[in-house]
Amino acid sequence: MLNFDYHNPTRIAFGQGRIADLATLVPAQAKVLILVGGASAEKTGTLAEVRTALGARTHATFSGIEPNPSYETAMQAVAQIRREGFDFLLAVGGGSVIDAVKFIAAAVPFADGDPWAILEKHGRNVASALPFGTVLTLPATGSEMNNGAVITHRAKAAKLAFSSAHCFPVFSVLDPTKTYTLPPQQLANGVVDAFVHTVEQYLTYPVNALVQDRFAEGLLHTLIEVGPRLLAAPEPVYDDRANLVWAATTALNGFVGAGVPQDWATHMIGHELTATFHIDHARTLAVVLPALLNERRAAKREKLLQYGQRIWGISSGTEDERIDAAIERTRDFFERMGIATRLSAYGVGADAIDGLVAQLQAHGMTRLGEQREITPEVSRRILQAAL
Ligand code: NZQ
Ligand code: ZN
């Protein structure tokens, strides 16, 4: 096992009805800015519940944070907060709203020029941030219990990530019933995003981290079990939603990844697909991962065999046959979740690959993966195999 530090200060309030707890979770004297995405928080009644729970606290609402949140919109919120003096932020939404709030929280006190530099330096230059909490409405990213965020600079067509110890939510309210209004494609996205987060931290090379491996395998089994059931159920089933929420949160709250090598190349290549073609985050992962696993089969051999055996029960055939089968089962799982795993299904052809590789280079994504061996040429092969 590798050396590690693990510190996660985010308080979780989990379960039905927990939005009422905002009454005590948010500091009593706080001047609160609630931040939401499009219309969903209002339509579902969640926003009204949040406002009621805030009681007599002074508060206002900033709406309009888009999926794959933009720097441009976030900076409008930064201006409003500086102008009106809010001292506590409350994100109500999915990963996009929460990520935007992390960036906004860090950008408000940022004194070193244009806050876009936070993304360019991947958060190393964040010295402080406003405190914020979250009310999660879409289980997928794990953003509700980690310190990372991904922001898109529209004008630059750049989607970059940052993280900072200052950007953990103070608390997150996880009410599984808030997922009941999600359309099936967002549920499927959530399952696949959480699945790939787990894989990025598990399917690398062995370091005898038995707890992390078994924990990761438990998450993958959970997602494979509940995923198709979530799509098939005529009415939402509370326990399946609860298990999805907690699986997605724990897949990226730092626990599975402590003391183990991590890959993240699928995410970095996927971010370019979203920045250029606006494909949903999870769908980019479903396209890239099978091609990447095949390309990296030698470097990942031992873990691929372990994954095939323990997750998919593949125990017969040569090693190469077992690895082929493990990758096929992964692709098949994504397809059963209703998510296409080929670039062509999203209208992206071979002519796009030069541009995508150039963007990876422009963003410094030239030595990706747990071994730092995924050069732009390797990324090109992965994208070609994903067509
Ligand atoms: O905008 P509204 O109207 O709220 O609608 C949203 C949005 O259109 C809707 N939605 C959310 N909750 C709903 C709902 N609709 C009905 N009922 C509800 N309860 O769902 C749509 C998608 O929301 P979004 O927040 O964009 O989805 P997700 O949670 O998948 O977040 C994706 C973003 O997170 C980043 C991605 O790159 C992407 O930008 N990620 C963040 C990570 C992190 N911070 O750790 C890690 C991930 O790998 C990921 O990169
Ligand atoms: Zn992700």
**Rounded-to-integer distance, Cα 142 and Cα 258, Å:** 15
Measured from the alpha carbon of residue 193, the closest ligand is 2
The answer to whether the CB of 167 is under 6 A from ligand 1 is no
The answer to whether the CB of 139 is under 6 A from ligand 1 is no
pLDDT band at 179 (very low <50, low <70, confident <90, very high): very high
Measured from the alpha carbon of residue 285, the closest ligand is 2
The domain covering 183-385 belongs, at the CATH homologous superfamily level, to Dehydroquinate synthase-like - alpha domain (1.20.1090.10)
pLDDT band at 324 (very low <50, low <70, confident <90, very high): very high
pLDDT tens digits, 191-230 = 999 999 999 999 999 999 999 999 999 999 999 999 999 9
**Rounded-to-integer distance, Cα 359 and Cα 363, Å:** 6
Domain covering 11-178: architecture: 3-Layer(aba) Sandwich (3.40)
The answer to whether the CB of 46 is under 6 A from ligand 1 is no
pLDDT, mean of residues 40-52: 98
What is the DSSP pairing of strand 148-153 with strand 158-163? Answer: antiparallel
CATH 3.40.50.1970, the chain: domain bounds:
11-178
Three-state helix/strand/coil letters over 142-172: CHHHCCEEEEEECCCCEEEEEECHHHCCCEE
Per-residue tokens: 15: 């379960």
The answer to whether the CB of 181 is under 6 A from ligand 1 is yes
| DSSP H or E run through 13 | strand 11-14
pLDDT tens digits, 300-315 = 999 999 999 999 999 9
CA 299 to ligand 1 center in whole angstroms: 32
**Rounded-to-integer distance, Cα 291 and Cα 285, Å:** 10
User: Chain-wide mean pLDDT for the chain?
Assistant: 98
Contact at 8 Å (CB) between 199 and 220?
yes
CA 150 to ligand 2 center in whole angstroms: 10
What's the pLDDT at 125?
98
The verdict on ipTM greater than 0.85 is yes
pLDDT, mean of residues 151-176: 97
Q: Which residues of 43-64 are buried (b: 16+ CB within 10 A; e: fewer)?
A: eeebbebbbebbeebebebbbe
Alpha helix segments (H runs only) across 203-277: 210-232, 238-251, 265-277
pLDDT, mean of residues 57-67: 98
**CA distances in angstroms from 213 to 32, 58, 243, 263, listed in the order given:** 41, 46, 19, 15
CA 145 to ligand 2 center in whole angstroms: 14
In the chain, % of residues over pLDDT 70: 100
pLDDT band at 359 (very low <50, low <70, confident <90, very high): very high
DSSP label at residue 347: T
What's the pLDDT at 232?
98
Closest CA to 378 of 296, 298, 320, 303: 296
CA 194 to ligand 2 center in whole angstroms: 7
